[in-house]
Amino acid sequence: MSIPAETRAQVLMQALPYIQKYHGKIIVIKYGGNAMLSEELKQAVMGDLTLLAQIGVRVVLVHGGGPEITDLMQKTGKEPVFADGLRVTDKETVELVQMALAGKVNKDLVNRISLCGGRAIGLCGIDGRMILAKARDERLGFVGEITDVNPQPILDMLAAGYIPVVSTVGCGEDGSVYNINADTAAEHIAGALGAQSLIMMTDTPGILREQGKPNTLITELTVSRAVQLIREGVISGGMIPKTHCCINAIRRGVERVFIIDGRTAHAILIEVLTDEGIGTMFR
């Protein structure tokens, strides 16, 4: 569809204040859900990141990759096991996690950004001992709880003009490798970087007053109001841990945190560069 030149110019002018606001600032994007599974959406996200980087935004991409881990496990004849919603990760499984996340998924995303004209470099939490962790629960094996984040490797890559693409594999003081929840890792990384914003891509429109009804989207929340909505049961199920990550990121010094629907093409640009935005903003 051809868009008239005047309309394109108006769109660019609307974006100008946001370009000025975010120029030179760090935005951390947690990438996951259906946006990682759809080829079309995957390409749109990588294009969004490239555009933001080229207008001077310092973009950091943090990703998980649960489906890829499961796929690799099944190909090697290992059946995935979950407890309390978390993947039970024995020694063999954590090696597969490292292969899937730091290998296949990470390098695929780096390659896609490069094909969009961006400059990206892949990192994982083991590089520069960026993400230090300890065992979260003995029952879960090598599922990690973050103890410290060293943001310097990411800052070095940003200074060199790259988009750091970070897979959420961490390491222990003794060299053990841990599988880290991507939402939690993004929260800690954004806080350690002093990021302007953290954008959490999900498979929902944001925080809804009534589940399953997108027209009840809550567009803005304070931390105290978010805590209250959890107590009231408005925020429930899988949105509770995501909301806690958003709250914790704000408490770590991130100015704004967004939950957006990764199923919407160019959702990142809509949130960052338009008046309307998309999803729920925490402040």
Catalytic residue among 242, 261, 262, 279: 242
Catalytic residue among 33, 64, 65, 122: 33
78 included as an active-site residue: no
134 included as an active-site residue: no
75 included as an active-site residue: no
66 included as an active-site residue: yes
Catalytic residue among 183, 191, 206, 262: 183
Catalytic residue among 47, 65, 66, 170: 66
Q: 31, 189 in Cβ contact below 8 A?
A: no
104 included as an active-site residue: no
Q: Which residues are catalytic?
A: 30, 33, 66, 183, 242
